[in-house]
Amino acid sequence: MKTKIKDNLPLISIIIPNFNYGQYLESAILSVLNQSYKNFELIIIDGGSTDNSIDVIKKYNNQIKFWVSEKDSGQANAINKGLEFAKGDYVAYLNSDDAYLGDIFLEIFNKRKLTADFIYGDVLIGENIENAKILRSKDNHLLLSSLILFFYRANYIIPSQSVFIKREFLLKYEIAYLNENLHYCMDLDWYCRIAMANPSVKRYSKLGSFFRSNSYTKTKKDGAKMKIEALKIAYKFLPYLKKIEIIQFYKYRLFSLVLNAIYSKKIKLNLILLCKIYKRIGFICLRDRRYLGLFKEVF
């Protein structure tokens, strides 16, 4: 049975930043254009691509609200250009190698009383949709104390592919733009600033987007640089946490260093050492498969 689309629903601004990702760009565009919910504007900001990206964009020119192809200073700069042009009640950005799934706009926005400032959900993650796995988003992820732990584990970030943010909220608190000095974790910094403004939050349950992760994506290719940037952001926001949260952060930081040292330097293990680590770190250890896996080596 076809869902009836209600009147006077929010306008959604979807921004797609792109640079030489023509092989995936059409899929990203179609994942927007094929939505049954049509109250959206599609904005594409291309960084001066030299592949087939412009041909792909021109193919859908009459369905794109605005597009431009010019040199920029990176992904954050491209997204900010799109945000400047956006007129929607809600804004979102979709990387050009990712995609929305099914009729997710209809699922989220076909409601008269939608008031949340920040909306997010789960994503599929993998090299392609067919072999992707679900990356779960926890209900408490938009907490500063949770976000800054991204350096420790990737699942502490909210997947940007799933996020829709009320533009009025961003403008009110002067957090409408990403930090263009960041190149890997600009979304982490943005969400930290948003979290500090205490938005109303809604987590939707339906799987709504696909996050492509392969050897070519910068999160895989430049993992070490991404972690350094994530730590820099964490230390920036650390003073805003409660004392107990700061203590917890440093436990995660120490635990991360210990695990990296064990796995990279192949430190000889014994039960006494593992118990000492547990005594110092606490229950964090028992939630980490890398630590639990070390017991196999001991026994």
Are 162 and 213 in a shared domain? Answer: yes
- Give the separation between CA 34 and CA 31, rounded to whole angstroms: 6
| pLDDT reported for residue 8 | 80
Q: Would you say residue 188 lies in a domain?
A: yes
Q: Would you say residue 103 lies in a domain?
A: yes
Span 111-137, average pLDDT: 89
The DSSP secondary-structure symbol of 208 reads -
CATH number at residue 137: 3.90.550.10
Are 151 and 280 in a shared domain? Answer: no
pLDDT digits (tens, 9 = 90+) for 201-249: 999 989 999 999 876 666 666 788 999 999 999 999 999 999 999 999 9
Are 259 and 225 in a shared domain? Answer: no
| pLDDT reported for residue 223 | 84
Residue 111 has pLDDT above 90, yes or no: no
Closest C-alpha among 298, 285, 221 to residue 259: 285
Element (H, E) at 218: helix 218-221
Q: Would you say residue 184 lies in a domain?
A: yes
pLDDT digits (tens, 9 = 90+) for 141-183: 799 999 999 999 888 889 999 999 999 999 999 999 999 999 9
Residue 267 has pLDDT above 90, yes or no: no
Tally of domains in the chain: 2
Residue 7 has pLDDT above 70, yes or no: no
Element (H, E) at 123: strand 123-126
| pLDDT reported for residue 21 | 96
Q: Which domain holds residue 292?
A: 242-298
